[in-house]
Amino acid sequence: MANQATYDDANLILKLYELRREEKLRDAREWFALEFFPQSMDDFKGVQVPGSKENTYFRMVTSYWDMAASFVTSGVLDAQLFLQSGGEMLFIWAKMGDFVETFRQNAGSPEYLSNIEKVIGMAPGAADRVAAVKKMIARMRENLTQSAKG
């Protein structure tokens, strides 16, 4: 991560940002951020129904961020620049990280979300950022629960 980011890195970051603005991916990201708060593997049942909106949104969000992280793990994109503009990936991992190993075992897919995991593992301070995001997510979930009650 000591390399200097290049204009090509910046252009790829801008392209990734542009892709995130696509309407269906925006809807999927909004669902993931505001409606999907897994606390156990049971909470993933809805996202495992093929053809459901939740399944589509879940796959769109997780595969987008794992693809973006693959640019870093393959050396195509500067990791530091990516993390400066890709904080949402940390949000995804904060929601998913505790369940990934079970997903990998259940699906027989040992590489599931491995690029995200690798980027977080190699980036100084990323694990601390994920811990802070987990706290924020807990507050969001609590606020949404309170709003639903009142």
pLDDT digits (tens, 9 = 90+) for 47-95: 989 999 999 999 999 999 999 999 999 999 999 899 988 889 999 999 9
Distances (CA, A) of 115 to 21, 82, 127, 149, 150: 22, 13, 15, 38, 41
Closest CA to 15 of 81, 73, 74, 96: 81
* DSSP state, residue 76: S
* DSSP state, residue 39: S
The pTM (predicted TM-score) of the whole model is: 0.90
